[in-house]
Structures are given as structure tokens and as C-alpha cells.
């Protein structure tokens, strides 16, 4: 039982230091952020592969289901956030029929404004 306890604490200590090392490398990476992130992702995948190889069939199915779920959620969140990327929308305002952009000097209609007779800028 003493050896099991030592092994358990050794494992948790190693995982803590491993994670800390990866965070430190992201903060001080000498190569490009994409290259650094790729190397770190590979290291995490290597550790995940070894650890998941040590679990039995029943737990392996549970691991696979949870891992697929979390990876799918990360993909969904990342693709949702991409809609806020200004590069994605850069051409949208220059297309014919696109709504006027306040940045381009256009004045978009305010659907909540009260119309006043004789005001050409207001609907109504």
C-alpha cells in the first residue's frame, strides 16, 4: 500500500509539473505561436495516448465518448468565435446590395426612430 501511495503522488506531481512546463513554454516559446502550440499539443496527445492505453475496455469506451464530446465542443466554440473575426467580414460591406456601413460614411436606417415629416434621413 505504501508503494501504491508513492506511485500515486509521483504521478500527480509529474502531471502538475508537466502542465506547468507546457504553460511556461507557451509564454516564452522561441518559435512562432502556431509552431509552439503544435509541439505542446503533440506532447499532450502523447501523454493522453499512454494514459488511455492503461485503462480497460469499459473505461476506454467512456474515455473515447468524453474525449469526442469535449473535442467537438472545442470545435463548435472555435467555429462560433470565428464569426467575430473581422477578416471574415471585410468583403461583405463592399458587395452590391450590402447594408451601408457607418464606417464607410453611410447612414443605416434606425428602425426604432420616430419619423418626422420632411426629414429625408428618417423612414416614413
State pTM to two decimals.
0.58
Count structural domains, the chain. Answer: 1
- Is residue 104 a part of any domain in this protein? no
- Is residue 113 a part of any domain in this protein? no
Residues 80-101: tens digit of each pLDDT: 877 777 776 665 555 555 555 5
Structural domain including 74 reads 2-86
- Is residue 13 a part of any domain in this protein? yes
Residues 34-67: tens digit of each pLDDT: 888 999 999 999 999 999 999 999 999 999 999 9
Residue whose entry in the numeric block shows the C-alpha cell 501523454: 47
- Is residue 100 a part of any domain in this protein? no
- Is residue 77 a part of any domain in this protein? yes
- Is residue 16 a part of any domain in this protein? yes
Amino acid at each position: 500500500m505504501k508503494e501504491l501511495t508513492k506511485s500515486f503522488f509521483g504521478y500527480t506531481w509529474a502531471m502538475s509539473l508537466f502542465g506547468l512546463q507546457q504553460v511556461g513554454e507557451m509564454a516564452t516559446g522561441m518559435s512562432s505561436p502556431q509552431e509552439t502550440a503544435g509541439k505542446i499539443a503533440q506532447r499532450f496527445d502523447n501523454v493522453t495516448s499512454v494514459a488511455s492505453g492503461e485503462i480497460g475496455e469499459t473505461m476506454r469506451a467512456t474515455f473515447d465518448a468524453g474525449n469526442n464530446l469535449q473535442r467537438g465542443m472545442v470545435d463548435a466554440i472555435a467555429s462560433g468565435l470565428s464569426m467575430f473575426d473581422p477578416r471574415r467580414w471585410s468583403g461583405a460591406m463592399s458587395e452590391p446590395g450590402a447594408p451601408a456601413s457607418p464606417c464607410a460614411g453611410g447612414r443605416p436606417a434606425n428602425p426604432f426612430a420616430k419619423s418626422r415629416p420632411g426629414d429625408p434621413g428618417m423612414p416614413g
